[in-house]
Chain A
Amino acid sequence: MAEEAAGCARPIGGPVGEETGSSVDSKLKKPPEVHAMIKVGRKAPDFAAPGYHKGEFINVKLSDYLGKWIVLCFYPGDFTFV
């Protein structure tokens, strides 16, 4: 993962591995409103998010992981109990 300034967590606005238009366009346009995008057998919605990994702050894009199996785990919050 290249060293970049920390970005904001954001949906890319499309499924992983598909063109979502030029970067100029995607900056001008908001990602389309999406509801219930998750369906088994369909592509996962792509996103970019800042994070922490082994002593460094990083930026991760889901589509960077194409070609690998991924377990994506959401959870309520750091320092909670379960």
Chain B
Amino acid sequence: MGVEVLSISIDSMFTHKMWNDHELAKMVKGGVPFPMLSDAGGKIGTIYGVYDEEAGVEARGRFLIDPDGIVQGYEVLTPPIGRNVNETIRQIQALQLIREKEGTEATPSGWKPGKATLKPGIDLVGNVWKEWKTDQAFDEK
């Protein structure tokens, strides 16, 4: 998919090294494959709206940034909720398709690779009901 991952927390790079070497490397062969960044003090988290000053930590925020540096989407969760990596991948697949088609196609609710896209234009006005059914919003059973 050609996507670069960056993780970031208020921990120091020394803590990142210890966490990677002593725990994460036991989950992922060779250790974490992407840079683990340190935002001590939460300055970066503050401008991204995810730093909680009272708790002194950053929420589980995930930002999708396109090759032009534009934020295409984000999700912010409280600490106890894990992310859905499959949904992140689906969103990147949708964004990459939209970029490749230069906006001539859009991905309706429930889209994933293999499902129909919509072609926005004057003929589609008032006619989405012919092209897209509500059961397409859900995964096939």
Give the B-binding residues of A (Cβ under 8 A).
6, 8-11, 15-17, 34, 36-47, 49-54, 57-58, 60, 62-63, 65-80, 82
Contacts and interface: CB of A to CB of B under 8 A. Distances in A.
A71 B92 contact: yes
Interface string B54-96: 0101111111111111111110000111110000100010011
Contacts of A8: 40-41
A31 B58 CA distance: 20
Contacts of B6: 51, 60, 62, 65, 70-73
Given A17-B69, A52-B13, A76-B59, A70 B74 contact: no
B47 A47 contact: yes
Contacts of B36: 51-53
Contacts of B15: 78-79
A80 B84 CA distance: 18
Contacts of A17: 68-69
Contacts of A57: 13, 17
B contact face: mostly helix, strand, loop, or mixed: mixed
Given A57-B13, A74-B59, A78-B11, A68 B74 contact: no
Contact of A67 (B34, B39, B67): B67
A69 B38 contact: no
Contact of A11 (B3, B47, B71): B47
Contacts of B20: 52
A73 B61 contact: yes
Contacts of B19: 78-79
18 contacts: A9-B39, A9-B43, A11-B47, A41-B71, A42-B71, A44-B65, A44-B70, A45-B48, A49-B37, A49-B38, A49-B44, A52-B17, A60-B35, A62-B6, A62-B65, A69-B2, A78-B18, A80-B79
6 smallest beta-carbon distances between A and B, as pairs: A16-B69, A78-B19, A51-B37, A52-B16, A74-B61, A49-B37
Contacts of A62: 6, 65, 69
